Structure 1
Amino acid sequence: MTQYYGHFAAVYDRLMEDMPYAEWLGFARSAWNKYGMPETIVDLGCGTGSLSIPLSRSGFHVYGIDLSSDMLTVARSKWDETPAQAVRPRAGSIRWLQQDMREWHLQEPVDTVISFCDCLNYLTEEADVEAAFRATFRGLKDGGTFLFDVHPPKQFVRYAEEQPFVLDERDVAYIWTCDFEESKHLIEHHLTIFAKDEGTRFSRFEEMHIQRAYDPEWLRAALQRAGFSKVDSYADFELEPASAQSERLFFVAVK
């Protein structure tokens, strides 16, 4: 896992503004209504805090954990700039921590861990996925839940078939191509990004992100090996079974 985001953090929210954050939050709420409502939450791979912050606003006690210091800097800035009286109707809290998801830890266990926006796909070795599952199991209270989503292998095939992707806006643009290694379900995303500075100048920088898709049954077995007593799977933001057309798989694992 080599992605640290760097310059990408500065334009991440602009490029991701159409991502379905409300649907991730909606799925989490539906799952918690079914499996138990938490008070303490770890947002594992929190990025710029687009899920951590609204969860804290809703009254949850949140730990936003990410490997990238640049992403956490943006997250802290977003949180600090939010008027407390406008967004904190209940006594929630948030704490930002720079840690590796394969070995994250807190002093006290939490009620639930979420890891959305295909964070687990960025772990490209099976041993790393299993390490993240074990760390999460250790970090949960008995009866706690682990909610995450991943892209299935077929979604990476779709990316490879449909690329290149192009964005051309007034303040930012990119060219996004993919190299797919089907035998290992590995995909390399190559992005050339042009971001507008103050004034009329644009900066250009390159990003490469590598992801791996895993067989859903292997993920289920790995969760069970980590110690989870119950593992349920869903798809596409609904508490419904996956189909061949599903673009995102969701797992709920119970300690």
Structure 2
Amino acid sequence: MQAYRQFAAVYDRLMEDMPYPDWLRFARQCWEKYGIPATVADLGCGTGSLSIPLARSGFQVYAIDISADMLTVGRSKWDEPPARAINPDSGSIRWLQQDMRDWELPEPVDAAISFCDCLNYLLEEEDVESAFRATYKGLKPGGLLIFDVHAPRQLEQYAEQQPFTLDERDVAYIWTSDYDEARREIEHHLTIFAREGNERGARFIRFEETHVQRAYEPSWIAGALRRAGFTSVEQYADFTFAAPDSEAERLFFVAVKPS
């Protein structure tokens, strides 16, 4: 597993176009079908871009991430108004530095989510299986796990379309990728230039990041969920409740722990 280190400082700037509202909508639609939770574990929460709106809307959220730096940014966002504005219906967040392969809470929760392809950062099958077992243990009977992963073809497309570049006033990057077809594993190399300071004393700092993701066959993921004990395992595609086809880019899984 990789910690995000310096990347945490510019993560929200680079991820501002990510479909966070779509992830929240998809989770709520699932909960409307299976039961509205009171407590939610957000596995691989990053800087809290999903944890914070969930807490603001009344959920008790456990924001779990392996990166202390990402959690620090998330806490600072939560502590700033209007994130923690006084609201009688507001929930709470508990920020926890834990590995999703063996996360643990004092009491089980009603639901767990893991979005933004966090599971793709688990590079061995046994890592994925460990995460599913830990989540099964961490859910109440009847609890729901919802997560998404990149489809194998999506990683292939990254390799085919790279390099990627960004050149804006406050941040720039060069992003290249190396793809291992046999393992369906991609290694992303990012050289990032981030602006620091005010207009008069601004400067750019440069740092390097490497992130590795691996894609798994959807049928294998479904089998791993069932081996962990989950039932009613459903697969969907690209923020819809349509079954995945060969064109799907982002796969969604919804799994229930038996009551």
Give the SS at the match of 1:111. strand
CA distance in 1, matches of 2:123, 2:217: 13
Give per-residue Cα distances to partners, 1:156-205, cap 9 Å, x unaligned.
11101110000000000000011000110000000000000103210000
After superposing the two structures, state which structure 1 stretch, 202-211 or 84-93, moved more: 84-93
Could you list the runs of 4 or more consecutive aligned residues of structure 1 that deviate by over 6 angstroms after TM superposition?
none
Correspondence for 1:229: 231
CA distance in 2, matches of 1:91, 1:200: 38
Correspondence for 1:147: 146
- Amino acid of the residue matched to residue 92 of structure 2? S
**2:179–2:187: 8 Å Cα contact kept in structure 1?**
yes
Post-superposition offset of 1:86? 4.0
Correspondence for 1:247: 249
The reply to whether residue 113 of structure 1 matches residue 112 of structure 2 is yes
CA distance in 2, matches of 1:154, 1:13: 26
**1:163–1:178: 8 Å Cα contact kept in structure 2?**
yes
Post-superposition offset of 1:89? 5.2
Correspondence for 1:60: 59
TM-score normalised per structure 1: 0.97
Correspondence for 2:167: 168
CA distance in 2, matches of 1:247, 1:192: 25
CA distance in 2, matches of 1:130, 1:84: 35
Correspondence for 1:219: 221
**1:174–1:191: 8 Å Cα contact kept in structure 2?**
yes
**1:115–1:149: 8 Å Cα contact kept in structure 2?**
yes
Structure 2: segments with no counterpart, 5+ residues = none
CA distance in 2, matches of 1:101, 1:226: 15
Matched residue count: 254
Post-superposition offset of 1:35? 1.4
Give per-residue Cα distances to partners, 1:65-99, cap 9 Å, x unaligned.
00000000000000001236747451311100000
TM-score normalised per structure 2: 0.96
Give the SS at the match of 2:153. helix
Give the SS at the match of 1:192. strand
Give the SS at the match of 1:225. helix
CA distance in 2, matches of 1:78, 1:85: 9
Give the SS at the match of 1:130. helix
- Amino acid of the residue matched to residue 125 of structure 1? E
**2:114–2:146: 8 Å Cα contact kept in structure 1?**
yes
CA distance in 1, matches of 2:105, 2:78: 21
CA distance in 2, matches of 1:228, 1:87: 38
**2:55–2:61: 8 Å Cα contact kept in structure 1?**
yes
**1:110–1:140: 8 Å Cα contact kept in structure 2?**
yes
Correspondence for 1:190: 189
Say what the alpha-carbon RMSD is for the aligned residues. 1.1
The reply to whether residue 179 of structure 1 matches residue 178 of structure 2 is yes
Alignment of 1:26-37 (within 5 A): 26-37=25-36
Give per-residue Cα distances to partners, 1:104-135, cap 9 Å, x unaligned.
00011000000000000000000000000000
Structure 1: segments with no counterpart, 5+ residues = none
Correspondence for 2:103: 104
Give the SS at the match of 1:82. coil
- Amino acid of the residue matched to residue 5 of structure 1? Y
Give the SS at the match of 1:231. strand
